[in-house]
Amino acid sequence: MSPPVSKIVRKVVENEEEVIRELGALIEKLSNEYINERGRFNIGLSGGSMIKFVCSGLPSIKTTWEKWSLFFCDERHVSFTDDDSTYRLYREGLVGNTPLTEEQFVIINPDLDVAAAAKDYEEKLRGSFPDSEWPSFDLLLLGMGPDGHTASLFPGHELLEEKSIWIAAISDSPKPPPCRVTMTFPVINNAKCCVFAMAGQGKADMVKRILGDGEALPSGMVKPVRGELIWILDKAAASKL
């Protein structure tokens, strides 16, 4: 029997502030569930506006912070002093504003070339998920780009078909910067919970295409095989559904 198709939960809230609150509440709930169950919480972070959502919402949640490990669904292949570094922005937003420490982030090695950095990051993940054919993150936080991409998986890109590695390198990202490392779909779809969070009218057309029309753009290919899929949208982003 094929694995159950994940149910898509849509949470439409009033505005961006409510998206932040809803996302924070979900992260708090899941972190406490998994920490109680297994003593650990493994979360994957995305860049873009997700950074603001997470850094605004996390400081007020109640969790056992020292049990967290924070990974990256994708990361730009730039130095950690670069304005484009997703890790840098999360570090600045969370270390100091929450009890999280830099050591709890599992980060890329930007000093390697992008192909080697992807391999190195995969090895780091294998160290965190030993004896696993595929890692199963407790929660992956995903954004959706204007072209329907998610993580650094872009429409029409060959990486959409990548089925054998956990972390891939891309050097022709249509969204700058061009070089990144990214989780592949087998990893994303092996998560216990995938959450998209977005706000604003600028997302409405693509939301309609993916959630309304079922277009198989990358964000629409996120279908956790055994996990939950949640879309948190404000009314503007959901306005064309």
Binding site for ligand 6PG (CB under 6 A): 46-50, 74, 86, 143-145, 149-151, 175
As measured in angstroms, the least distance from the Cβ of 150 to ligand 6PG is 5
In this structure, the number of other CB atoms found within 10 A of the CB of residue 79 comes to 11
Whether the CB-CB separation of 191 and 73 falls below 8 Å is answered with no
As measured in angstroms, the least distance from the Cβ of 222 to ligand 6PG is 11
Residue with tokens 């504003």: 97
Tell me whether residue 50 or residue 217 sits nearer to ligand 6PG (CB atom).
Answer: 50
Helix H or strand E segment including 193? strand 193-198
Tell me whether residue 143 or residue 224 sits nearer to ligand 6PG (CB atom).
Answer: 143
As measured in angstroms, the least distance from the Cβ of 143 to ligand 6PG is 2
The amino acid sitting at 240 is K
Tell me which DSSP letter residue 4 carries.
Answer: P
From 67, 218, 44, 65, select the one nearest 136 (Cα to Cα).
Answer: 44
Tell me whether residue 47 or residue 57 sits nearer to ligand 6PG (CB atom).
Answer: 47
- Residue 36, token pair as written in the block: 């109680």
Tell me whether residue 89 or residue 100 sits nearer to ligand 6PG (CB atom).
Answer: 89
Tell me whether residue 26 or residue 188 sits nearer to ligand 6PG (CB atom).
Answer: 188
As measured in angstroms, the least distance from the Cβ of 64 to ligand 6PG is 27
C-alpha span between 205 and 101 (Å, rounded): 38
- Residue 214, token pair as written in the block: 């079922």
Tell me whether residue 48 or residue 155 sits nearer to ligand 6PG (CB atom).
Answer: 48
C-alpha span between 183 and 143 (Å, rounded): 13
Tell me which DSSP letter residue 219 carries.
Answer: G
DSSP track, 116-166? HHHHHHHHHHHHHSTT-SS---SEEEE---TTS-BTTB-TT-GGGG--S-S
